[in-house]
């Protein structure tokens, strides 16, 4: 059994810890100015609390924090007209490292509405990162108090004596190191104040000139701010950016304190959704350029400000420490965002639709990454549609439906006739509405388009036969389609160029009848062999169908189809390999036997098949036309590479030349 030799307490010597405080606590030297100004703000707030709490009659004057520079003496001074200190308080709060007077003061005046910034007790010592000597000249507000002067040259030794000071408050003077002389430049001080202290609640002056904003809009009541106030604040935070779509004002004090304004910016396809641009503050003191630990990942592209005293920070206020409170704050923000979006959807669907192109990215990304958020917004996920919902609703005499939300609120869902159009004349629908509306046409089937330009031919073909198409054409929709399939397991999602639905095919066409008794070939077989011989590409699967249409010439003579499973596999492979998806070599060429061009081509060939050695003018032209039809189908799919484009241009010139020779 082991024998206990000794028990005791670990001793920490100040001569050992002081170099650590000076060199290691703060990552950026410029932090010292933020800490000293924060202390000055606290001193003014403490004075208000003490005076109001005691009922004393003291002229507080106009609060102010003055910064002055003396280049000759290499000195930088920060002066406040706050509460000041006595010799005993300097001994207690300055000479005892890491004893925070803010904690004690807050407890004493906990019922006051004034906010105290400091909580660590180490901020003052950041001065020694840049200064050879630090001095404090101070006079307490207390009646009969004696002014005192404190001086320290960066060691554990200090001097404390009386002072000639007559004005209440404190001046901290730093004699800067030679290598830190840039803090004697006005532009450097202005930049630091703008970065960290711009929204502190009292005026900050440099050589007599005001250099901070003072007003923090997020601390105001939303009812006191106008649209212009919000926009002006956004433009100040993010100059030279487009105005935001909308914003959310956060203001809660239970079970935690959170204030802020979050803006929905207009998004670019190349936005990095992993990097946040929301600024984190603590009592109006800037802490960090992002709130990645506080904001849910799917809301990182938002912009604005979060200010909370309940977010646990390390001693330098530079990094967050994750804990349960942080997670609760993140949940609160997500719920607040979802609630604001639902309110907009209910109250102003036209505005909601106007913003949807950008809002949709947030909503979809959130649904992909957060189940709670998904449940909150699932009823407001909308999709642009080819359907004329105004006509459809008039025909069905649609009525409003009362919906019960997750939080128990009952609200009236807008009917389709109430659904406004966007600026291009398109209506929007939820997936549930789409499925209900098309149950008799194509039950549990969703036709969608990912590229309106490239797939325009296919979309028009579906529209002509009364098939409704949804547009899923944002950069996030490639992933979102898979998510929808997991949510709607009984529904089949088909891109308009993946396959041809039976509703698009004219089954009455006699393509299966034998038209050449000598070869027993049907019309479809002849067309197929004609194209196979012309293209000479075994990886292109030729299919022949007669497409419906009041005007046969309105439908394309041929279409390239990309089977859903094959295309998705290729997209997934490209995603994992971090490269662009290429056009698949294996695809289907659907030849429309009802098109006049195909019929004329078959007549021109007189039912014979183009052979490899065929060199008659008619055979050469037929082969060129088959390739030209295939090229046109590829163009609709944007399936050309550089060499294919050269061949297409050359072949087009040859076809036109031959046609003009006939």
Q: Domain map of the chain by residue range? A: 15-210, 217-341, 382-496, 514-661
What angle do the packed helices 617-637 and 596-605 form, to 10 degrees? 150
pLDDT value of residue 113? 46
Q: How far apart are CA 170 and CA 79, in angstroms?
A: 6
Q: Which of 135-139, 306-310, 357-361, 601-605 has the lowest mean pLDDT?
A: 601-605
Q: Determine contact, residues 67/34, Cβ cutoff 8 Å.
A: no
Report CA-CA distances (Å) from 555 to 161, 428, 551: 97, 26, 8
Contacts of 28-33 spanning 24+ positions with Cβ under 8 A? 28/318, 29/129, 29/130, 29/180, 30/183, 30/192, 31/126, 31/129, 31/196, 31/316, 31/318, 32/126, 32/127, 32/129, 32/130, 32/174, 33/78, 33/183, 33/189, 33/192, 33/193, 33/196, 33/197
Alpha-helical (H) ranges within 397-455 are 431-437
Q: Which single residue is written with the structure tokens 């212009």? A: 228
Of the pLDDT bands very low, low, confident and very high (cuts 50, 70, 90), residue 103 is: very low
Q: How far apart are CA 49 and CA 116, in angstroms?
A: 10
Q: What is the arrangement of strands in the sheet containing 469-471, beginning at the earlier edge strand?
A: 427-429, 383-385, 469-471, 445-449, 492-495
| Antiparallel, parallel or unpaired: β 246-252 and 258-264 | antiparallel
Confirm or reject CATH 1.20.120.790 for domain 514-661, answering yes or no. yes
Domains 15-210 and 217-341 share a fold: no
- For residue 218, the surrounding DSSP H or E stretch is none
Nearest to 279 by CA among 257, 296, 302: 302
74: left (phi over 0), alpha (psi -120 to 50) or beta: left
Q: How far apart are CA 283 and CA 117, in angstroms?
A: 6
Of the pLDDT bands very low, low, confident and very high (cuts 50, 70, 90), residue 603 is: confident
Residue 123 has pLDDT above 60, yes or no: yes
Q: How far apart are CA 470 and CA 387, in angstroms?
A: 9
Computed over its alpha carbons, how large is the radius of gyration of the chain?
Answer: 37
Residue 551 has pLDDT above 80, yes or no: no
Note the pTM of the prediction, 2 decimals.
0.74
Q: How far apart are CA 559 and CA 497, in angstroms?
A: 8
Q: How far apart are CA 431 and CA 43, in angstroms?
A: 58
Q: Count other Cβ atoms within 10 Å, centred on residue 525.
A: 18
Q: What is the DSSP letter of 364?
A: H
Q: How far apart are CA 126 and CA 34, in angstroms?
A: 10
Helices and strands: H and E segment counts in the chain: 18, 25
For residue 152, the cross-strand partners are 134, 158
Asked if the bond preceding 255 is cis, omega within 30° of 0, the reply is yes
SS3 per residue for 14-59: HHHHHHHHHHCCCCCCCHHHHHHHHHHHHHHHHHHHHHHHHCCCCC
CATH of 217-341, one of 3.30.465.10, 3.30.160.20, 3.40.50.620, 3.30.230.80: 3.30.230.80
Of the pLDDT bands very low, low, confident and very high (cuts 50, 70, 90), residue 412 is: very low
pLDDT value of residue 550? 72
Q: What is the DSSP letter of 547?
A: B
Residue 632 has pLDDT above 60, yes or no: yes
pLDDT value of residue 402? 41
Mean pLDDT of the chain: 81
Q: Once rounded to an integer, what is the mean pLDDT over residues 45-69?
A: 84
Expressed in percent and rounded to 5, the helix, strand and coil fractions of the chain are: 40, 20, 40
C-alpha triplet 630, 597, 540: angle, nearest 5°: 25
pLDDT in tens, 247-260: 999 998 888 889 99
pLDDT value of residue 502? 84
Fold of the domain spanning 382-496: Rossmann fold (3.40.50)
Q: How far apart are CA 70 and CA 373, in angstroms?
A: 55
pLDDT in tens, 487-544: 999 999 999 988 888 888 887 776 666 666 666 778 888 889 899 999 999 999 999 9
pLDDT value of residue 475? 79
Q: Determine contact, residues 217/230, Cβ cutoff 8 Å.
A: yes
Nearest to 440 by CA among 400, 471, 467: 467
Residue 406 has pLDDT above 70, yes or no: no
* Burial of residue 133, with CB atoms counted within 10 A of its CB: 0-12 exposed, 13-18 middle, 19 or more buried: middle
Report CA-CA distances (Å) from 259 to 41, 218, 252, 281: 19, 6, 7, 9
Q: Which single residue is written with the structure tokens 């005001």? A: 210
Q: Which of 12-16, 30-34, 602-606 has the lowest mean pLDDT?
A: 12-16
Looking at domain 15-210, its CATH class is alpha beta
pLDDT value of residue 271? 65
Residue 639 CA to its chain's centroid (Å): 32
Q: How far apart are CA 65 and CA 44, in angstroms?
A: 9
Q: How far apart are CA 313 and CA 287, in angstroms?
A: 9
């Amino acid at each position: 059994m082991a024998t206990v030799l000794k028990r005791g307490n670990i001793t920490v010597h100040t001569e050992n810890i002081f170099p650590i405080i000076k060199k290691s606590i703060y990552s950026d030297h410029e932090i010292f100015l933020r800490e000293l100004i924060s202390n000055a703000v606290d001193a003014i707030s403490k004075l208000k609390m003490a005076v109001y709490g005691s009922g004393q009659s003291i002229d507080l004057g106009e609060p102010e924090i003055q910064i002055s520079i003396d280049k000759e003496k290499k000195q930088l001074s920060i002066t406040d007209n706050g509460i000041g200190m006595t010799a005993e308080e300097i001994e207690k709060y300055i000479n005892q490292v890491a004893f925070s007077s803010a904690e004690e003061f807050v407890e004493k005046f906990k019922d006051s509405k004034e906010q105290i910034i400091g909580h660590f007790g180490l901020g003052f010592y950041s001065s020694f990162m840049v200064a050879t000597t630090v001095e404090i000249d101070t006079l307490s507000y207390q009646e009969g108090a004696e002014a005192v002067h404190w001086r320290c040259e960066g060691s554990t030794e200090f001097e404390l004596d009386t002072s000639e000071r007559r004005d209440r408050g404190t001046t901290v003077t730093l004699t800067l190191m030679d290598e830190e002389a840039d803090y004697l430049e006005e532009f450097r001080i202005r930049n630091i104040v703008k970065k960290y202290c711009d929204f502190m609640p009292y005026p900050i002056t440099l050589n007599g000139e005001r250099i901070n904003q003072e007003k923090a809009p997020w601390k105001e009541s939303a009812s006191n701010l106008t649209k212009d106030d919000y926009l002006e604040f956004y433009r100040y935070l993010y100059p030279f950016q487009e105005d935001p779509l909308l914003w959310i004002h956060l203001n809660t004090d239970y079970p935690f304190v959170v204030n802020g304004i979050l803006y929905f910016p207009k998004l670019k396809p190349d936005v990095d959704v992993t990097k946040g641009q929301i600024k984190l503050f603590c009592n109006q003191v800037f802490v960090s350029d992002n709130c990645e630990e506080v904001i849910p990942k799917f809301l990182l592209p938002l912009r604005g400000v979060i200010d909370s005293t309940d977010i646990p920070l390390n001693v330098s206020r530079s990094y967050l420490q994750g804990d349960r409170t942080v997670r609760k704050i993140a949940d609160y923000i997500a719920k607040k965002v979802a609630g604001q979006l639902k309110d907009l959807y209910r109250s102003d669907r036209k505005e909601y639709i106007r913003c949807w192109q950008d809002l949709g990215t947030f909503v979809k990304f959130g649904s992909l990454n957060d189940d709670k958020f998904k449940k909150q917004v699932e009823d407001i996920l909308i999709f642009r549609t080819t359907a004329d919902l105004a006509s459809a609703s008039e025909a069905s005499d649609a009525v409003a439906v009362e919906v019960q939300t997750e939080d128990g609120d009952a609200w009236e869902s807008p009917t389709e006739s109430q659904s406004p159009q966007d600026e291009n004349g398109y209506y929007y629908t939820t997936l549930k509405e789409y499925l209900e509306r098309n149950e008799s046409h194509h039950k549990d089937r969703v036709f969608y388009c990912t590229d309106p330009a490239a797939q325009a031919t296919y979309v028009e073909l579906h529209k002509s036969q009364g098939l409704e198409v949804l547009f899923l054409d944002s950069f996030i929709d490639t992933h979102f389609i898979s998510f929808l399939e997991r949510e709607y397991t009984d529904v089949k999602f088909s891109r308009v160029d993946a396959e041809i639905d039976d509703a698009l095919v004219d089954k009455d066409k006699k393509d299966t009848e034998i038209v050449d008794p000598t070869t027993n070939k049907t019309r479809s077989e002849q067309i197929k062999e004609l194209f196979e011989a012309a293209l000479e590409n075994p990886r292109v699967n030729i299919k022949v169908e007669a497409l419906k249409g009041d005007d046969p010439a309105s439908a394309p003579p041929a279409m390239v189809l990309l089977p859903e499973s094959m295309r998705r596999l290729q997209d997934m492979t490209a995603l994992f390999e971090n490269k662009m998806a290429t056009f698949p070599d294996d695809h289907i060429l659907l030849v429309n036997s009802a098109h006049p061009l195909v019929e004329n081509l078959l007549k021109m060939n007189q039912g014979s098949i183009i052979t490899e050695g065929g060199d008659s003018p008619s055979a050469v032209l037929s082969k060129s036309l088959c390739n030209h039809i295939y090229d046109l189908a590829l163009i609709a799919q944007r399936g050309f590479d550089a060499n294919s484009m050269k061949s297409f241009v050359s072949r087009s010139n040859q076809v036109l030349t031959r046609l003009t020779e006939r």
